[in-house]
Chains A and B, each alone.
Chain A
């Protein structure tokens, strides 16, 4: 919970990891490159005072995770999103089991999401069932650019992917978090293309598809799909962190998202341990669209901030929110006209 100027905010951090990027766990130069890429993200966008050493960044102890998220980071609930990367890291980078070990000790603080890969075929479906039962899964994280031997990625529209999505529906795993990465078969296409999200969102209206990093670097394609598919959400991991060094760009991202989607389908994430929630929450509550951009994008109200910081994710994951932290306006019913309905209608009919 974060309190500022008499307003209380319920905080759900929708995208965190308990990873092991230590050299001992790096299987090859790709693992090393992957961690260093994250470390550069961290160094590039964090405020000076929040920058860690490379060693601190490699792995965080249980104590440190609890401290950063709950003792000083204002987080009420944090959602683990696994990233297996078993081709890069000996024991995996951040598996459901690694995350689950922490969640079992602190069940009031964490939600564990699972993961699956359609290239695991029939055997993987059985493994997903066991995983769902073991962790009571409500969500899963998918990383389409995951390497698997000769294969350099997969698409949500692959036939086996449909089988897994059907299985998710059957098991009550409603929240499908999708992360695009730089490599995917065939390599000659744009790996960040989100067109496959459009197809599965239409095919599985009962499921929610949360596109991590709001589709960056393809924000426009993400917005185009999300405005047409009411079950597509935008996760703010990475996007959040632009707030400090590039506030005008951050304002544009938020402004575009509010225009094309609405404030009910955007969720806060720190992407811990790339960044820590403390400064993100503090700065976001204080953040406002710069005055010269307000004609175009409007302003961020307290309710919009409350929804983004916690209420939207709480709705997706059935998390109980104390009455004093709910939005002042009643919750909009699902299927409400989007904010930009007039323009969106024009888009939809073209």
Chain B
């Protein structure tokens, strides 16, 4: 007999897979999930963000992804995800509940769905992880000429590598042991010409993503108080 607490834990675990597309971190780690309530097969999830004016497109993606992640649990029949304290809460919550997509949630204001936006940020994250892994190799003496030859299968396990592989799968890029570490947005190997500039830009991208994540965490704390009432069982 599964207890309600276990069901709740399952919901939290499902939400661990939902990322803030811009920050490339799970919404649970970021403490954007303020509440999970389970009533037999009905689940309610509340999300809140660092500011009232966080970009509505990213907010929509998180609400929709949270909805889908929880709905995939075999015992769940009904999911309600509510975004709180946001200028577009009403449109986003209604849009996700209706399942009509982003364009329909903002009539006349959007020109299509959010897949392109998601791809843009997956590419940024992928670039940043490539740089992180490449940087470790460069520090241990690998030259640029060798670096373009490195394949994923040659690399020691690391968190950055796991994340890089996951982003590649999401982007439909090669992620097997024979895939080069350094590929461009289309999956083509990166030539050694222009590599140092490419890596330099990738590092700027990483600084930017990490910096934004820190800023968002800080603003969330300011808005809701440190630890601001997220109620994950067993963690707080």
Contacts and interface: CB of A to CB of B under 8 A. Distances in A.
Given A191-B55, A217-B22, A217-B208, A249 B214 contact: yes
Interface stretch (B4-12, B112-120, B166-174): B112-120
Given A188-B110, A189-B117, A253-B211, A219 B56 contact: no
Secondary structure class of chain B's binding surface, majority of residues: helix
B106 A44 contact: no
A36 B224 CA distance: 12
Interface stretch (A5-13, A89-97, A263-271, A342-350): A342-350
B55 A182 contact: yes
Nearest to B106: A187
A256 interface: yes
A30 B204 contact: no
A185 B109 contact: yes
B51 A44 contact: no
A181 B55 CA distance: 8
Nearest to A227: B201
B222 A40 contact: yes
Given A40-B51, A182-B54, A186-B111, A219 B204 contact: yes
A226 to B, nearest CB: 11
A44 B222 CA distance: 6
Contact of A30 (B87, B113, B120): B87
Contact of A188 (B114, B198, B219, B222): B114
B112 A186 contact: yes
A33 B201 contact: no
Contacts of B103: 188
Given A219-B204, A343-B197, A37 B53 contact: yes
A347 B22 CA distance: 25
B194 interface: yes
A4 B86 CA distance: 45
A128 to B, nearest CB: 27
Contacts of A150: 108-109
A219 to B, nearest CB: 4
B208 A218 contact: yes
A219 B211 contact: yes
A37 to B, nearest CB: 5
Interface string B87-114: 1000000000000001100101111111
B208 A346 contact: no
Nearest to B53: A182
Given A36-B52, A252-B211, A256-B204, A188 B196 contact: no
Nearest to B50: A40
Contacts of A33: 52-53, 87
A45 B211 CA distance: 14
B207 A256 contact: yes
Contact of B56 (A182, A259, A260, A344): A182
Nearest to A246: B214
A188 B117 contact: yes
Given A40-B222, A220-B204, A249-B211, 12 more contacts: A29-B87, A43-B222, A182-B54, A185-B111, A187-B57, A188-B102, A189-B117, A190-B57, A219-B211, A223-B201, A259-B200, A343-B197
